[in-house]
């Protein structure tokens, strides 16, 4: 089945003349609201009252009822003054990092149209990158905020796991699912996350050092750009001890733990309805059904070791610096086998914050071969807003 590109990242846009759709729009009086004047694009994984959530798959849409309630994350942003401009394309059930969808199309990467837009929040990311929205609401389980942020030259935050409410959301793997945002500027990211984290616990950072994951940096396509940026940075820097991490099969552990949860969430529905999936996504779902108890125990052991490493390495005084992705987005023409191998490299980077449940912010600092890329900061649990503040400080230096 061939993926086709689409010019619009939206699968639904509001008809402002239709009364029953007014409930999902921002209040008309937004004067003084923190997100007044900001346009919001919502990944079609979030429920909005009165609409069917497609989750990127027509069979899902056909077997699920119209949503009766709006996800609290959507409501929080709209109540803060943002105006909903549409629901956006997502990879099927959010189970991909490429941004392609055989049913609804692959949103065009506005920066580099010949490259992948990155998933599974591809629609929200490309809407923001193209200037069609100011805030892209998405989810990040294995990298679905961080990866499209990197590919589209955006700021993106995967928050501390469990901190932003995930109600009204089609889950993928609840033990890893998070709700975050994508923006073109860091000020909008900060304000959006303040609205989503209102009343949630937050911790401060103590003028932290930057703890560089030099091995991961050296393996990145844009290693020279990262190194040059770090050399120009005035912050104190230390090198992380990656010996323990390098000995762990991070991507495999993440695949197993995520896959086990995915099959618990969707196995019965898939078995009963036999939905049509893209071949690579179908293969991953099929693999989820065969995960053994021994594999799960081994993966849990890896996760415990990652959490132990993170507890020793990342704290209020020390923030990890890591490439967000191995480099710029792969070309659309990249063969499926090569994308499969690339996915493992990618998950080795994104799995660290995922397995440890920590916040990670992507900074779109670089361009390589005409395409955007960058690096990430990983902070301790509940340091989300302080991590954004740190990023702002770094950008001003």
- Tell me the C-alpha distance between 385 and 178, whole Å: 15
My answer on whether 188 and 292 are in the same domain is: no
Range of the domain at 185: 5-196
- Tell me the C-alpha distance between 92 and 43, whole Å: 12
- Tell me the C-alpha distance between 178 and 231, whole Å: 33
Catalytic residues: 43, 120, 144
Tracing tokens 């959490």 back to the chain, one arrives at: 307
- Structurally, how many domains does the chain consist of? 2
Position 242 in a domain:
yes
My answer on whether 236 and 170 are in the same domain is: no
My answer on whether 105 and 244 are in the same domain is: no
My answer on whether 145 and 236 are in the same domain is: no
Position 201 in a domain:
no
pLDDT tier, 32 (very low <50, low <70, confident <90, very high otherwise): confident
My answer on whether 342 and 375 are in the same domain is: yes
My answer on whether 357 and 220 are in the same domain is: yes
Question: Which residues lie closer than 8 Å to 303 by C-beta, 6 or more apart?
Answer: 253, 257, 355
Position 202 in a domain:
no
Beta bridge partners of 377: 321, 361
- Tell me the C-alpha distance between 138 and 36, whole Å: 20
Position 311 in a domain:
yes
Read off the pLDDT of residues 179-189 as tens digits, 9 standing for 90 and up.
Answer: 999 999 999 99
Instruction: Tell me the whole-structure pTM to 2 decimals.
Output: 0.96
Q: Which of 12-26, 133-147, 152-166, 215-229 has the lowest mean pLDDT?
A: 12-26
Position 29 in a domain:
yes
> Could you say which of 170, 196, 222 is where a domain stops?
196
CA distances, 42 to each of 37, 190, 280 (Å): 16, 18, 25
My answer on whether 155 and 248 are in the same domain is: no
Read off the pLDDT of residues 338-368 as tens digits, 9 standing for 90 and up.
Answer: 999 999 999 999 999 999 999 999 999 999 9
Inform me whether the pLDDT recorded for 23 exceeds 60: no
My answer on whether 179 and 268 are in the same domain is: no
Read off the pLDDT of residues 269-308 as tens digits, 9 standing for 90 and up.
Answer: 999 999 999 999 999 999 999 999 999 999 999 999 999 9
Tracing tokens 């990879």 back to the chain, one arrives at: 91
My answer on whether 241 and 161 are in the same domain is: no
Residue % of the chain over a pLDDT of 70: 96
Backbone φ/ψ region at 364: left (φ over 0), alpha (ψ -120 to 50), beta: beta
My answer on whether 94 and 183 are in the same domain is: yes
Beta bridge partners of 361: 157, 377
My answer on whether 167 and 305 are in the same domain is: no
b/e 349-367 (16+ beta carbons within 10 angstroms → b)? bbbbbbbbbbbbbbbbbbb
At residue 21, the pLDDT reads 42
Read off the pLDDT of residues 87-146 as tens digits, 9 standing for 90 and up.
Answer: 999 999 999 999 999 999 999 999 999 999 999 999 999 999 999 999 999 999 999 999
Residue % of the chain over a pLDDT of 90: 93
Position 203 in a domain:
no
> Could you say which of 196, 225, 248 is where a domain stops?
196
CATH of the domain at 335: 3.90.1300.10
Position 232 in a domain:
yes
> Could you say which of 165, 196, 227 is where a domain stops?
196
Mean pLDDT of 156-172: 98
Position 226 in a domain:
yes
Question: Which residues lie closer than 8 Å to 166 by C-beta, 6 or more apart?
Answer: 73, 139, 174, 177, 178, 179
pLDDT tier, 20 (very low <50, low <70, confident <90, very high otherwise): very low
My answer on whether 141 and 259 are in the same domain is: no
């Amino acid at each position: 089945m061939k993926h086709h590109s689409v010019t619009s990242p939206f699968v639904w846009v509001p008809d402002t003349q239709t009364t029953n759709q007014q409930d999902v729009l921002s209040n008309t009086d937004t004067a003084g609201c923190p997100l007044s004047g900001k346009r919001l694009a919502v990944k079609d994984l979030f429920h909005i009252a009165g609409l069917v959530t497609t989750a990127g798959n027509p069979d899902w849409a056909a077997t699920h009822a119209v949503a009766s309630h709006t996800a609290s994350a959507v409501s929080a942003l709209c109540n803060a003054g943002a105006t909903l401009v549409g629901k956006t394309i997502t990879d099927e059930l959010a189970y991909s990092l490429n941004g392609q969808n055989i049913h609804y199309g692959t949103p065009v990467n506005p920066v580099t149209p010949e490259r992948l837009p990155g998933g599974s929040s591809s629609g929200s990311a490309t809407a923001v990158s193209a200037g069609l929205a100011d805030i892209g609401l998405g989810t990040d389980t294995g990298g679905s905020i961080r990866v499209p942020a990197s590919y589209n030259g955006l700021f993106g935050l995967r928050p501390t796991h469990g901190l932003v409410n995930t109600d009204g959301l089609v889950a993928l793997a609840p033990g890893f699912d998070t709700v975050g945002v994508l923006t073109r500027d860091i000020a909008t990211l900060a304000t959006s996350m303040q609205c989503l984290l209102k009343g949630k616990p937050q911790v401060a950072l103590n003028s932290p050092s930057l703890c560089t994951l030099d091995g991961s940096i050296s393996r990145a396509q844009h290693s020279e750009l990262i190194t040059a940026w770090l050399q120009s940075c005035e912050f104190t820097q230390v090198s992380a001890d990656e010996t323990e991490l390098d000995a762990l099969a991070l991507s495999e552990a993440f695949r197993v733990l995520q896959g086990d949860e995915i099959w618990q969430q969707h196995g019965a529905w898939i078995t009963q309805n036999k939905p049509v999936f893209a071949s690579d996504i179908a293969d991953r779902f099929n693999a989820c059904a065969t995960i053994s108890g021994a594999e799960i125990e081994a993966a849990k052991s890896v996760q415990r070791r990652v959490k132990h490493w993170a507890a020793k390495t990342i704290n209020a005084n020390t923030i990890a610096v890591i490439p967000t992705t191995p480099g710029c987005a792969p070309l659309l023409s990249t063969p499926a086998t090569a994308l499969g191998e690339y996915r493992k490299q990618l998950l080795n980077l994104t799995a660290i914050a995922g397995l440890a449940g920590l916040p990670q912010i992507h900074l779109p600092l670089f361009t390589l071969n005409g395409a955007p890329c960058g690096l990430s900061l990983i902070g301790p649990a509940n340091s989300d807003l302080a991590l954004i503040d740190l990023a702002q400080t770094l950008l001003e230096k």
